[in-house]
Amino acid sequence: MEELQFGLGPAQRLPAPNQGDQRHTNELKANHSSRREFMKLSGLAVAGTGFGLPTAASAAGRRAQERDPDSVLARLLEGNKRFVSGKLAHPGRRPEDFAPLAEGQAPLAIIVGCADSRVSPEVVFDQGVGDLFVVRVAGNVVGGAGPFVKGSVEFAVAELGAKLIVVLGHEACGAVKAAVAHIDANDTLPGAIRDLVEVIRPAAASVRGKPGDKLENAIKANVAMGVERLKGLDPILAGMVKKGDVKVVGAVYKLRTGVVELLD
């Protein structure tokens, strides 16, 4: 049987990055942020506690105008239009496409999405390597998901400089569907599935008796609850959202058409 080869052998080298890639790499190196700078920016510095986070690439690797949340949102929606039309601009998934980012990352947006295998944010928004910081969990839940989802989002804002957060739900979400069915049947689900569904249950309950499709309404309500939870999340996000430095929006991906629709 032929042996599969993964990675690069001793004699192999990655192709030299092009001029644009090299410039981006140099920017990331030059703007490498320190632990001290991050702690000051995030407001989490506590003298004498020894608390700290690993150093990561500074957001300054991207120009300020590139990180404006409204501009980034427009960029994502344009990427979704390309995806829908089948005219993708970011097919690169080879090791050499990742090499320029080896020194650090400076993503433009944070996507809190569902773990559903049919919804890949990088593909749906047609974005390149290093453009999105993606947090995925079944049902794209925020409240009740513990510190891991919220902490990941806070890290990407405070340490990596992302200014746009998109809570991305999707059509026919199985986790939300289970929550709706669970309410209707008033049954008990096994294992940790019960805990997950209980987190989504308030969203499903909030739309009971409302006109329209029950599941679609619940999916939108679940996204909206995630958006509001992030907008009010102290100590990092709430103040930045209030000042307009960070934008949080909700959206739903349509499986049948590929279109991402923003919530009102």
Distances (CA, A) of 17 to 13, 98, 259: 11, 10, 34
Return left, alpha or beta for 130; rule: phi > 0 is left, psi -120 to 50 is alpha, else beta: left
SS3 of 36-90: the string is: HHHHHHHCCCCCCCCCCCCCCCCHHHCCHHHHCHHHHHHHHHHHHHHHHHCCCCC
Residue pLDDT tens, the chain, 264 long:
333 332 333 333 334 444 444 444 444 444 444 333 444 444 443 222 223 333 334 444 566 778 999 999 999 999 999 999 999 998 777 888 889 889 999 999 999 999 999 999 999 999 999 999 999 999 999 988 889 999 999 999 999 999 999 999 999 999 999 999 988 777 777 888 888 989 999 999 999 999 999 999 999 999 999 999 999 999 999 999 999 999 999 999 999 999 999 998
pLDDT tens for 33-48 read: 433 344 444 444 322 2
Q: Give the pLDDT confidence score for residue 53 in this predicted structure.
A: 35
Report how far residue 119's alpha carbon sits from residue 223's, in angstroms, rounded to the nearest whole number.
15
Report field, pTM of the whole predicted structure over 0.85: no
Contact 218, 172 (CB under 8 A): no
Q: Give the pLDDT confidence score for residue 207 in this predicted structure.
A: 95
Q: Give the pLDDT confidence score for residue 154 in this predicted structure.
A: 97
Contact 226, 141 (CB under 8 A): yes
Buried b (16+ CB within 10 A) or exposed e, 29-41: eebbbeeeebbeb
Cβ atoms within 10 Å of 73's Cβ, excluding its own = 19
Report how far residue 179's alpha carbon sits from residue 217's, in angstroms, rounded to the nearest whole number.
12
Report how far residue 57's alpha carbon sits from residue 92's, in angstroms, rounded to the nearest whole number.
22
Report how far residue 21's alpha carbon sits from residue 68's, in angstroms, rounded to the nearest whole number.
22
Question: To which residue do tokens 């499903």 refer?
Answer: 204
Report how far residue 223's alpha carbon sits from residue 126's, in angstroms, rounded to the nearest whole number.
22
242 CB burial (10 A radius; 0-12, 13-18, 19+): exposed
Respond yes or no on whether the N-terminal peptide bond of residue 235 is cis (omega within 30° of 0).
yes
Beta-carbon contacts of 146 under 8 Å, excluding residues fewer than 6 positions away, are none
pLDDT tens for 104-155 read: 999 999 999 999 999 999 999 999 999 999 999 999 999 888 899 999 999 9
